Amino acid sequence: MSERQTLRIEEQPGSVLVATLDRREVANAFDTRTAVDLQRLFSSLATSDDRRRCVVLTGAGDQAFCAGADLKERQGLTDEQWRAQHDTFERMYRSVLDCPIPVLAAVNGAAYAGGLELVLACDFAYASRTARFALTEVALGIMPGGGGTQTLPRAVGERRAKELILGARPFSAEEALAWGVVNKVSEPASLLEETLAAARRIAENAPLSVRQAKKAISAGLQTDLRAGMLLELEAYNSLVGTEDRREGIRAFNEKRKPRFTGR
């Protein structure tokens, strides 16, 4: 008998992909195998010829998005084994952060510890009204190690992030919306469809333009304004010679919807 699939991949109309963490028995916590599967998925999307235009990341069921790393699997690990496993987790997070196409989180329930770090690694997120969030690591003798000390302050500001991380303080979906962790709060029954609608809207646009705009935003935030504007200009100029740029202008002047091909 084959092992149970823990990461479900579903193709959606409009070149949208849905990736669902499916380990409901442990609140969709990721083990080493799931982390490897996520890393392989997002690394595969980095190829320039991949036809997918947007990814939605969510969890199975209506109780949890992801509870972080599976601590039962970590029980009994030596220090060396712990560090080696964490290196696998780190590669997973970086693959999400480095994905050139937009990644949206549909936070269907609790997003704790590494689960919240997954949300923060995405480009933006919608959340169920019942979702809860926390970076609880300092209560367990560790600390956020999937980017949380970097991504949460960038979302909510330094002082709020210190309150949440140092106090291991849970917060609600409404607080997450007010503080900038998520972009929208939805009713549980409509969360996935509303996130998919946002993904389809992105996927309808010129894929090379979307990739370059995402790249310019992400890289520009790591530098000063003038250097960021130079990065933007470089990304802009890379699109001038594309067929999609020509098609977009033709479609505008012909008063029709453009047919973008990613070339």
Dihedral pair phi/psi, residue 249, rounded to 5°:
-70, -40
Q: Is 251 exposed, middle or buried (0-12, 13-18, 19+ CB in 10 A)?
A: middle
3-state secondary structure of 67: coil
- Tell me if 74 sits within 8 A of 35, measured CB to CB: no
Question: How far is 99 from 105, CA to CA, in rounded Å?
Answer: 13
| Residue from 13, 19, 42 nearest 204 by CA | 13
Say whether 197 sits in a helix, a strand or coil. Answer: helix
Nearest alpha-carbon partner for 22 in 40, 42, 7, 4: 7
- Dihedral of alpha carbons 167, 95, 70, 107, sign: positive
The catalytic residues are 117, 137
CA distance 11 to 13: 7
